[in-house]
Amino acid sequence: MAPDDFLTYARLLTGTEVKGEDQIDRESLALILADETKRIDSSQLNELLLLVHKDRVETPFFEHFFGPDCTIGQIPDAVERFQRTALLLYGNFVFAYRALSRIKDGSTFEKTIAEVSSGPEAELNFFRDRQPKLLEVDRIAKHQTPFVGYLSVGDILADLRRCELLRAAAKEFRPVASWDEYLAQIRAMANPEQFGPLSEIVENFRGKNSETTVSDFGGFLEESFERLFEMKVEVQQVRGRATKNQNTYLTWDHMDVYFATSMRKAWEYQDLYGFIERLMVSDELRELDLRYFDPTQAYTDNRVNKGLVEALMLKRARCTVYSVQDTDTLGKDSELASTLAQGKPVIAYIPDLDLEDRARQLVSENPATILERLRFVLYADEQLAQRLTDPELALVDRVQDELIEYCAKRIWLSITDEKVVNTLRQALGGDLEAFCRIVARSEKAVYDKRARTLRDSHPLALQVNLETGVANGVLVVRTIVDCAALLRRILLSAMEFSLEDADDMWYLKERITGCIYRVVTNDRKLNNCFWNFYLR
């Protein structure tokens, strides 16, 4: 090893420049460093460090990073091992060197670096030896998960109350009453701004049933009321179970993973349910029998308590999996930030869509859902219209009109008339499939862009552990297989990294994702100001 190379490694080890280079005895250095196979111990490393005007290290530091069989030629590897630990624990080479090199007691040293030095075997044994939980979650079925949210349930309750009013108005008439008389009665019974939606229900019924009477409508309302009431009871039962589940989550003594997601639309609940189900049965995770907070299985009717429960789960979980769905919402963005600020890992799962699979899935969705998907991509994909050819644009226009018409002519928002849906699907035929392919292509563009933004360009994809100042980066995965592999590595403390010196930065990049996990900037001014507020 050449003296200049050793000066470089001394700089990298200590995080500071080598001062007084003109007073360094390079001839002696060259002699000592000439034989790269020569073994050195801690005292000899200290002599080398003092030769280049650097502080010496205590034995535990040497034994951990350099090891008992270290040779001159292995110094670079030892320095890199130190840099990785420094990045993971301190986000700072200077302070890491000062802190770790001065610890004299071996057990104190091991305790200090335990967070990043425990082996996968020990962690695996922890999971294997863990006792089963006393209370299991009462798993709510996929199709019922939207009932723990407020939007789907709002549709049911609004339908039920509107049906109740229309039914009460129908009861006030003899069977031969005219539609005009009936509408006048509705107008009298409803607040003025509510007449529009109510008359829309009446008109939609009449549109689907020619030559129908108020009496026929009364019969239909009786049936609808029964059905909507049953749905409300089902919601209450599901929420009762989900409330119990929440109490179960609160009592678990271990919490491994928190799943963060948007919880607005019905498909967001069902997508998350499907994602978690596939993730947890993967080979990598099944044996760990993880305990995770699944927001599709928990409920509280008090928004303040809901916020507190989720805050506690974020505090307790070892990491967060952020499922990137449609819109970036305050809720899940806050959950991402909260996890990073605690210095814990965040995995962002952004599906890498298979266009044909996704298009088929969309075709099978309710037309109202397909329309909402179009509205989402129109909002999120600024290039959509520019990418479409004129015939495609005309097709989107045409199918959108049909979907809008379908939505406007629904009698109830929460009851799907399968006959009407099938008629619409048949009428649209290949156009619906082509439309869904266009929406799927656009969804893919949106997700790909989100992945690039989070991985490559968003400044807040790296946030700071508020207690230590260590920068903490989001890890972006595009498949469930990668998500499972990464989650296993996180939980078993077996993450793998590459160390890169680029862009005037030191990056510690996670190997599966290629994402920046830790970073040290070489900006002198920023470093000085930043660490003045964290380490003093």
Partner 1 sequence: MSSDARLILKRAVRAERWEHQERGDYNMERFDREFSDRLYSEKGREILRAQEQGTIARKVEPATR
Catalog residues that contact partner 1 under the rule CB under 8 A: 150-151, 153-155, 157-158, 161-162, 164-165, 168-169, 171-172, 188-191, 193-194, 196-197, 200, 229, 235-236, 239, 299-303, 306, 374-375, 378-379, 382, 384-386, 388, 393, 396-397, 400-401, 404-405, 407-408, 413
319: β partners: 257
Least distance CB 309 / partner 1 (angstroms): 12
Q: Is 493 within 8 Å of 482 (Cβ atoms)?
A: no
Look up residue 148 and give its two tokens: 């723990």
Torsions phi, psi for 183 (to 5 deg): -65, -35
Least distance CB 399 / partner 1 (angstroms): 11
Least distance CB 125 / partner 1 (angstroms): 41
Nearer to partner 1, 121 or 379 (CB): 379
253, 303, 443, 512 from 309: Cα distances, Å: 15, 10, 32, 32
284, 382, 430, 482 from 326: Cα distances, Å: 28, 14, 26, 21
Least distance CB 187 / partner 1 (angstroms): 9
Least distance CB 204 / partner 1 (angstroms): 9
Nearer to partner 1, 20 or 196 (CB): 196
CA atoms within 13 A on the CB side of 255: 22
Nearer to partner 1, 59 or 204 (CB): 204
Least distance CB 294 / partner 1 (angstroms): 17
Nearer to partner 1, 313 or 495 (CB): 313
Nearer to partner 1, 111 or 375 (CB): 375
Cα 315 from Cα 388, distance rounded (Å):
46
Nearer to partner 1, 76 or 331 (CB): 331
Q: Which of 460, 257, 258, 465 is nearest to 341 (CA)?
A: 465
Least distance CB 353 / partner 1 (angstroms): 21
Nearer to partner 1, 366 or 521 (CB): 366
Q: How far is CA 89 from the centre of its chain?
A: 24
Contacts of residue 324, Cβ cutoff 8 Å, sequence gap at least 6: 348, 349, 350, 447, 450, 451, 454
Least distance CB 259 / partner 1 (angstroms): 18
Residue carrying structure tokens 């900037």: 521
Nearer to partner 1, 34 or 168 (CB): 168
Q: How many residues does the chain have?
A: 536
Which segments within 428-488 are labelled E, that is strand? 462-464, 471-473, 475-477
CA atoms within 13 A on the CB side of 497: 24
Nearer to partner 1, 26 or 409 (CB): 409
Q: Which of 95, 61, 105, 91 is nearest to 79 (CA)?
A: 61
68, 89, 114 from 109: Cα distances, Å: 16, 13, 8
Least distance CB 426 / partner 1 (angstroms): 22
The amino acid present at 132, given as its one-letter code, is: P
Q: Which of 284, 350, 289 is nearest to 485 (CA)?
A: 284
The amino acid present at 392, given as its one-letter code, is: E
Least distance CB 449 / partner 1 (angstroms): 16
Nearer to partner 1, 106 or 197 (CB): 197
Least distance CB 162 / partner 1 (angstroms): 7
Cα 127 from Cα 29, distance rounded (Å):
50
Nearer to partner 1, 283 or 379 (CB): 379
Contacts of residue 58, Cβ cutoff 8 Å, sequence gap at least 6: 42, 101, 102, 103, 104, 109
